Structure 1
Amino acid sequence: MQPSRKSKIIAVLRALGLSLVILIPSIFVGLALWYRAPGQGLFGLGDGSWLAAGLWAAYVVATLYYALFTWRRPLATGAFMLAMALAVMWWTAIKPQNYRYWMPEVANILAADIDGNMVTIKDVRNFTWRSLDDYDAKWDQRTYDIDTITSVDLFLSYWGMPAIAHTLVSFGFANGDHLVFSVEIRKEEGEVYSNLAGFFKEYELALIAADERDIIYLRTNVRGEDVYRYSIKAKPESMKALFLSYLNTGNTLRKAPQFYNTLTANCTTIVFSMAQAIVPGLHMDPRVILSGYLPEYMHERGGLNAPEGATLTDIKSAAAITAKARKINGADGYSRRIRAE
């Protein structure tokens, strides 16, 4: 007897569902092996791309063979489930670290001592950049009175796609000082960033405190990125709370390192999670992930200082600092000059 149309549809849906059950974890495990086996020194065999390539190739061949020829066999299914269980055990055993051979610009992450309104921050980055390979490395210890915070600025730095930007937050003080916080990928010596690798525990997080004449100048005048500065509308108590939130986050990362994740733990989502705890009514929005569009979201929420009636186009035009910054010869007076009308 010929199977009915309904039974055919059910069979197709069942096969499709089974394919997804096999395919989705297989893709994840395959990519995890590709990105994590070399740098992790899998099974203690040390660093070597040959190991990653071999494991990845063997895994792909075995998975395809199972999916195409042997998935109906109980023994093969048991072997597949065991392989998945071992992969999960391996994956959860990969832990972030604070002790690796880091790139010089992320060699230190901030640590802070908080005593009432006075805070002392260790390892404030204050590099002098002449080029990407020519710089003077310097790490300062600085003390600030958080009662003298007068402003908060959001810097967005674009290097390619308009949807993606790096987010930096700068606090201004009554004496004219500015301190920038930046959530960065803590790359190791020789490591190259990949958006895809960022999903697979490839990089740790670093929270860097830095002088504007270092970290913003690096982006406008050395890396050639396109940078915008937006003044954030916030009450003094909210500014202080956000500043302290950065310090507490830095202290936490110093004690308990965390992996960067391209989607869930990056330069924008971490800032947003801190702001949510301070500013009521903020909700997750696609423009938080697509950080290049963050000013639009902030404008809609009334979070930007701007002249009454100013459009988003007007605000973006006023926020552009790249042209001004590139006219600055050296970093002296950098903060004052990028804010000049």
Structure 2
Amino acid sequence: MVIRLAGHGVFCLAALLLAGLGSMALGYQFGAMWGAIAIAALVVATAAALWLWFGRRRLAGAGALVAILAVLAVWWGGVSPSNDRDWAADVAHGVTASIDGDILTLRNVRNFDWRTEHDGVARWETRTYRLSDLDSLDVFTSVWDSPAIAHTLVSFGFRDGRHLVFSAEIRRERGEEFSSIGGFFKQYEMVLIAADERDIVRLRTNYRKEDVSLFPVDADDRFRRALLMSYLDYGNRLAARPEWYETIFSNCTTVVYRLARTLAPGASLDWRILFSGYLPDYLYDHGYITTTLPLDEVKKRARISAIGQQTPANEDFSAAIRSGPVATLRPSAATTTGAVKGP
């Protein structure tokens, strides 16, 4: 009796999970009308499997459930990412790069002039940099709601004063809104955006009113260059072979971790990679940012939103956000013995 009840329970749970997850996948992929039709068909098929099972035709019921799973699995495996959709303006292009000796050429560097958080003058630029001028590495975190979750951006500074920011983002279609649940069901592709700080950081500090912090990373020249090369390679690979954004396993912070681990194989997986609002704690514990001050003080000095909002549009935004308290977090030549070492 107990075994029979347990069997019924397991079968019902499997059917409910299959119907629930399958319905969500169908809904996100097919939209309202066709999604409703597909979900209805799935519910009817699952109900039929349950009817067979409880009608004492358990083998047929189990076979029907397996068949439903197989059909969904084949369909799901065929849902492929694409670079060819009607994209939202701010993610219309991913960065690609080429190198000729010391000269780095980047195509599709975003440099929008934002008027509101949703509207701006679009500018996609081709820029050149000297790799030998690579001079600094910074991590930005941007919190918009829960302090446990932050968007992560990585900025490379050059001796001519320019800064280049990389941000792994969801690639929304025009009119599409972000859904963390949708990120589990292949709703969005991933795109690597390279942008000017006056665009991508100022958008967050001045228009979205997010809580943005800047953490200078104590890294040597080899590490900075190797990490930059990893981002460039990732951008080129996405252009050739698109990938899905995944809420947990492939998002803005796990991409940072994956790239960093390529350069430092001993880096350990940490819960603060998933709860990206605590990424500064992770960086602090591993000595990637200054540890000469208590962590709470480092976080306090790293906050730059107020400075960004006070900086006139015609002033050097990158220079402004690096003035004030955050300037005391910059690694000096005297502290590079503890820097992250390159390969």
Do both proteins adopt the same fold according to a TM-score greater than 0.5, normalized to the shorter chain?
yes
Contact 1:109 1:207 in 2 (8 A): yes
Equivalent residue in structure 1 for 2:18, among 22, 25, 29: 25
CA distance change for structure 1 residues 19 and 134 in 2, over 3 Å: closer, same or farther?
closer
Contact 1:213 1:332 in 2 (8 A): no
* SS of structure 1 residue aligned to 2:137: strand
- Matches for 1:28-177 after TM superposition, within 5 Å: 28-38=21-31, 49-64=32-47, 66-67=49-50, 70=53, 72-73=56-57, 74-177=59-162
Contact 1:217 1:331 in 2 (8 A): no
Equivalent residue in structure 2 for 1:276, among 254, 261, 274: 261
Given residue 28 of structure 2, which amino acid in structure 1 is its aligned partner? Answer: Y
Is 1:252 aligned with 2:237?
Answer: yes
Q: Counterparts of 1:145 and 1:64 in 2: how far apart (Å)?
A: 64
Aligned-pair CA distance for 1:165: 0.6
* SS of structure 1 residue aligned to 2:252: coil
Equivalent residue in structure 1 for 2:312, among 326, 329, 332: 329
* SS of structure 2 residue aligned to 1:154: strand
Q: Which of 175-184 and 70-79 deviates more?
A: 70-79
Given residue 63 of structure 1, which amino acid in structure 2 is its aligned partner? Answer: T
Aligned-pair CA distance for 1:64: 4.3
Unaligned runs of 5+ in 1: 39-48
- Specify the alignment match of 1:235 in structure 2: 220
* SS of structure 1 residue aligned to 2:14: helix
Q: Counterparts of 2:148 and 2:63 in 1: how far apart (Å)?
A: 44
CA distance change for structure 1 residues 337 and 83 in 2, over 3 Å: closer, same or farther?
same
Aligned-pair CA distance for 1:53: 1.6
Aligned-pair CA distance for 1:131: 1.0
Given residue 153 of structure 1, which amino acid in structure 2 is its aligned partner? Answer: D
Aligned-pair CA distance for 1:107: 0.6
Q: Which of 272-281 and 70-79 deviates more?
A: 70-79
- Matches for 1:254-333 after TM superposition, within 5 Å: 254-306=239-291, 308=292, 310-330=293-313, 332-333=315-316
CA distance change for structure 1 residues 93 and 114 in 2, over 3 Å: closer, same or farther?
same
Q: TM-score, with normalisation over the residues of structure 1? A: 0.90
Q: Which of 74-83 and 317-326 deviates more?
A: 74-83
Deviations 1:132-162 (A, max 9, x none): 3442111111111122211111101111011
Q: Which of 65-74 and 314-323 deviates more?
A: 65-74
Deviations 1:93-124 (A, max 9, x none): 11100010001111111110122332100010
Q: Counterparts of 1:278 and 1:187 in 2: how far apart (Å)?
A: 30
Q: Counterparts of 2:275 and 2:119 in 1: how far apart (Å)?
A: 32
- Specify the alignment match of 2:335 in structure 1: none
Aligned-pair CA distance for 1:11: 4.2
Aligned-pair CA distance for 1:34: 1.2
* Aligned-residue RMSD, C-alpha: 1.7
* SS of structure 1 residue aligned to 2:215: strand
CA distance change for structure 1 residues 119 and 56 in 2, over 3 Å: closer, same or farther?
same
Q: TM-score, with normalisation over the residues of structure 2? A: 0.89
Contact 1:238 1:279 in 2 (8 A): no
* SS of structure 1 residue aligned to 2:153: strand
Given residue 98 of structure 1, which amino acid in structure 2 is its aligned partner? Answer: N
Given residue 310 of structure 2, which amino acid in structure 1 is its aligned partner? Answer: K
Number of equivalences:
322
Unaligned runs of 5+ in 2: 325-343
CA distance change for structure 1 residues 68 and 165 in 2, over 3 Å: closer, same or farther?
farther
Q: Counterparts of 1:331 and 1:76 in 2: how far apart (Å)?
A: 69
Q: Which of 26-35 and 76-85 deviates more?
A: 76-85
Aligned-pair CA distance for 1:76: 3.2
* SS of structure 1 residue aligned to 2:263: coil
- Specify the alignment match of 1:209 in structure 2: 194
- Specify the alignment match of 1:44 in structure 2: none
Contact 2:52 2:61 in 1 (8 A): no
Given residue 201 of structure 2, which amino acid in structure 1 is its aligned partner? Answer: I
Aligned-pair CA distance for 1:68: 6.3
Q: Counterparts of 1:325 and 1:100 in 2: how far apart (Å)?
A: 34
